[in-house]
Structure 1
Amino acid sequence: MAKKILMSVEMRCEKCRSKALKIAAGSDGVKFVGLEGEKKDRVVVVGEDSVDAVAIVLRLRNKLGRTDIISVSHVKP
């Protein structure tokens, strides 16, 4: 079963968005990474159950700044 993680990330420019996607995609077990929201300020990560949401958030906080987990849910195949 897959897991969907929705995070709010403080991104000021297009370079920050690109950097956030690269950081999130670099985690083990990630199958899809995308942006959501009107301001494109939410990062969506879909992957296997082994994807660690906290580890992704910590990496994003270290590189970009404020990052919050909005939701973690299971996705039916």
Structure 2
Amino acid sequence: MDNSVKNGVAKARSQLPVGQSLLSCEECKCPIPEARRKAVAGVRLCVGCQSKSDKRQKEVSKVHRRASTRVC
């Protein structure tokens, strides 16, 4: 169980943005507020696009999890 938690943390950290934040969203091109750029180093998406991206990722994760528990 400890290894799965460590793997989960490592995966989450690897998905965090790094580097300099963008001034505008790479999806919709809307400006990214300065407060968000300061709060999240390396931010690339506005809040709206990030929410959509997180939701898509969550849906993909559900599919993989269900498929992996199926017994043939």
Larger relative contact order (CA 8 Å, sep ≥ 6): 1
Structure number with higher helix proportion: 2
Q: Which has the higher strand share?
A: 1
